[in-house]
Structure 1
Amino acid sequence: MKVTRKFQLIGAFALISIAALIYLSIPYARHLDDVLPWKSHGSEVEVQEDAPVTVIAEQPQTESPVDENKSEATVDIDTPATEQPQSESGGDENSTDAAVATPTDASEPTTESEQVKIDEATEEADAEADAEALQQAYAEDRQSLLAEIQGKAQDTLEPKGNKIVVLTATDGKGHNNEINNLFDMVTENREDYCAFHEYTYQFTNISQFQKDGRAAVWNKIPAVQNAFDINPDAEWVWWLDMDIIIMTPSQDLAGLVLNPDTMKERIAYDAPIKNNGKPSGVTVSRDVDLSKIDMIIAQDHAGVNAGSMLFRRSDWTFSFLDMWVDPVYVDRFHNEQDALSHIILKHEKIREHIGFVPQRVINAYSVGGNEMGWREGDILVHFAGCWVDKKCNERWQDFWPRRTVVEVPQDTSAAAESVESNNEADSAAAGPDSANGDEGEGEKKDDGADEKKDDGAGEKKDDKEHDEKEDDTEAQEGEGSR
């Protein structure tokens, strides 16, 4: 009983204390705003005033759309988007010089210097396009022509066709650079000749064979070896220097010198071999065995000339080519031609495999007398020594238009038969009186022949004097032609 009474008194006291505390705190309720400042400012209002998104919402969306996903750093609050100048290309005030040089805004006129640059660039592009188109058209015309003349020579003598390789090689250097557009003209000249006779034409850049300390002319020897290697059907390789024009493309090599029958007629027997323009005391054998001839070459006024040579596929040829380019000879002689002359003069057994022919058969020069200088009907003209007096281009341009151009043969058999039949019909209709008329014409022809004969004698005399002058000119060039 006493305990219960005690708890009741404690509870009553507590209630009275709480009520007194509340009553005493009422005067201080008016100053709660000063004590607790956050009570009168909502957090949402704070965010709405400071957040940058409210700035974006106020800008006109139609004039400068802004990506809502952009960060605060990408928004320019101070400068409205409508005040920033925009060009058609999307550039601004800080655009590069390239943009200024080629303005894309049609409203901004180009300066005179800028227009000049634009015009020059356009002209250059047009010129390149035109050149490419011309080159393409030329290549197509060339292929068409070569297809038309392919094999039209209809050679009958052996060797023929791909048994013969016409080889030309250069490194693009040397005196040949004096001749304008040389490479293109040589290529055209020899491609036509080879297509006409169905020979194989090969061009080789001899710089691939260059070795330190060796003159470039030595590289023609490995070029010949290479021609045999990559043309397994070839029986003969004809080496031609770049400064040579094939003047009579109708002449086939078998009929010229390679067929055994023509070789027998062309080979020079007991001909003296020259050494620096002087007799060496060595001559070509009279009893030469044609079956052993593996190399065909000619001499000029000074000695052997390596500008035009023919090699037969044989073990002897391969061994000789290896020996010819041996360092013993390369170190001793400045060029391959001097080494060849030495080898021929000093080795009798080697001479048995070399066939000498008169110079004009395979190596006529652009100057010289009857034995040396080109005459109509000779297969080629060689401009050896033209660089001595700096007349290479002059002489080349003189001979180039005079060459015979390979053309597609026309079938004139039907036309010839028609003319012959018409002549026979006319003779029959004319009766016996036509015979007397023919005799009269025959007498006129004989008289004309006598006059022509006399004129020919005079022409020969003039030619002889002209040849003597050319011989003097060639002698003055001396070693330069070599």
Structure 2
Amino acid sequence: MHFAYPPRKDSNAAAFKPRASSSRLPFIRRGRKRVLALGALFFFGIIYFLTRPSSRHRGANPWMAAHLKAAKEEGTGSTMPGVGDHKAPTAADGNPFGADFSAATENLASFGKAPTVVLVTVYDETNFHRAYLDTIRENRRQYAKKHGYGTFSPKVGYYNLNGSPLSWTKVVAMRHALTLFPESTYFWFLDQNAFVMNMDKSIEGDIMAPAKIDAAMLKDFPVVPPDSIIKTFGHLKGQDVDFLLTQDYDGLSTSSFIVRNGEWARFFFETWFDPLYRSYNFQKAETHALEHIVQWHPTLLSKMALVPQRTINAYSKVEHGAKYETGDLSVRVVSCIRTSSAVCENEAAPFIQLWRGSDKQQQAAS
């Protein structure tokens, strides 16, 4: 049985008929509509930029505002146009308690020049005996005099911390020191309960020289031991380091650190002292705040170098960190942490005798 062939199609196809359209503008294609839309967007953008308020009247970026305030404090002028007519903060604004900062400041550089290094220590006269604190002041002054450095020695209570722990005083004191010594290069914060032991070592030559930093700094190293996933930069060069500090067995140590003066240093202290971090209930206040900001802000981490603890921050006991050895720059008396002044002084006594004994030997030799 054969099936019938399918019907054969007509070889002459019907003429093409365009699809009926309701548009009254058939000449506008889809591409042309897109061009017109972009043109309209560009036109209204131009109108916006021409009519928006100027930067002088808009809310300022908080970080830039901090920099502008710092510039005004130091008399360097503004870095942006249009803000030079703002009133600079007065001394009373930053000193609500009327503290005598002139008595806490000393320049031991020759011929009245700006000291290359400023040694900053905050003194707690409420919880420690006056004689012990005078010994520490003598230690600082002797070291500063030998190298022609400056000293800044504010007291706990000089600054209004708005209820924050008193340990935050070190941060605002360092920021204040940048203002008092604008021409100095390095600022070394050394805890009240630490002593300079090696009077021959200089900060600019033996610690902060680029070659010295390159040889000492710990690269690609966990910021917070033992297993922080954030590590120090492996490509950082000594000449680019603006912040040098150490770790102990618990984490970063803020009992001894050095900062190079400059815009980055001002930004660093203003970030560290931000009310957000001061009001947060960190277990170790400013120390844990520092650990937080350097791990979350590459701008800060990119200028930070970790060095072995004994470089600038040896401890009197091995339980908390690297123990002091002869020749180390400084030693921190760890028993002074959360103990009475008497306990602190007893542990500090051998180091005071050692420091004074070496000083007498040097004087006899000269």
2:118 equivalent to 1:165: yes
Q: 1:405 aligns with which of 338, 359, 363?
A: 359
2:259 equivalent to 1:314: no
Gaps of 5+ in 1: 1-146, 152-159, 412-482
Q: 1:234 aligns with which of 173, 184, 192?
A: 184
Calculate percent identity across the aligned residue pairs.
Answer: 24
- Cα deviation, 1:214-253, whole Å, max 9, x if unaligned, reads 1111121121111111112211110111101111111111
Distance 1:213 1:200, change over 3 A: same
CA shift, 1:409, in A, is 7.1
Q: 1:361 aligns with which of 299, 311, 324?
A: 311
Question: If the length of structure 1 is used for normalisation, what is the TM-score?
Answer: 0.48
Residue 115 of structure 2 aligns to a residue in which SS?
helix
Residue 184 of structure 1 aligns to a residue in which SS?
helix
Corresponding residue of 2:299: 349
CA contact (8 A) 2:249 2:321 kept: no
- Aligned-partner residue type, residue 401 of structure 1: Q
Gaps of 5+ in 2: 1-107
- Aligned-partner residue type, residue 268 of structure 1: L
Whichever of the two has the greater Rg, that structure is 1
- Aligned-partner residue type, residue 405 of structure 1: D
Corresponding residue of 2:164: 214
CA shift, 1:161, in A, is 7.7
Distance 1:369 1:264, change over 3 A: farther
Distance 1:319 1:392, change over 3 A: same
Equivalences for 1:182-261 in 2 at 5 Å? Answer: 182-261=132-211
Corresponding residue of 2:31: none
CA contact (8 A) 1:358 1:371 kept: no
CA shift, 1:330, in A, is 0.7
Corresponding residue of 2:346: 394
Task: For 1:370 and 1:256, locate their aligned partners in 2 and report how far apart those are by CA, in whole Å.
Answer: 25
2:291 equivalent to 1:337: no
Question: If the length of structure 2 is used for normalisation, what is the TM-score?
Answer: 0.63
CA shift, 1:343, in A, is 1.0
Q: 2:238 aligns with which of 258, 277, 290?
A: 290
Residue 359 of structure 2 aligns to a residue in which SS?
coil
Distance 1:339 1:333, change over 3 A: farther
CA contact (8 A) 2:249 2:320 kept: no
Which structure carries more helix by proportion? 1
Distance 1:218 1:400, change over 3 A: same
CA shift, 1:299, in A, is 0.3
Task: For 1:368 and 1:297, locate their aligned partners in 2 and report how far apart those are by CA, in whole Å.
Answer: 18
- Cα deviation, 1:142-198, whole Å, max 9, x if unaligned, reads xxxxx9xx88xxxxxxxx981110111224235xx2x67221101111111111111
Residue 308 of structure 1 aligns to a residue in which SS?
strand
CA shift, 1:286, in A, is 1.5
Task: For 2:352 and 2:155, locate their aligned partners in 1 and report how far apart those are by CA, in whole Å.
Answer: 24
Equivalences for 1:26-175 in 2 at 5 Å? Answer: 162-174=115-127
Distance 1:172 1:372, change over 3 A: same
CA shift, 1:210, in A, is 2.4
The one of the two structures with greater contact order (alpha-carbon pairs below 8 A, sep at least 6) is 2
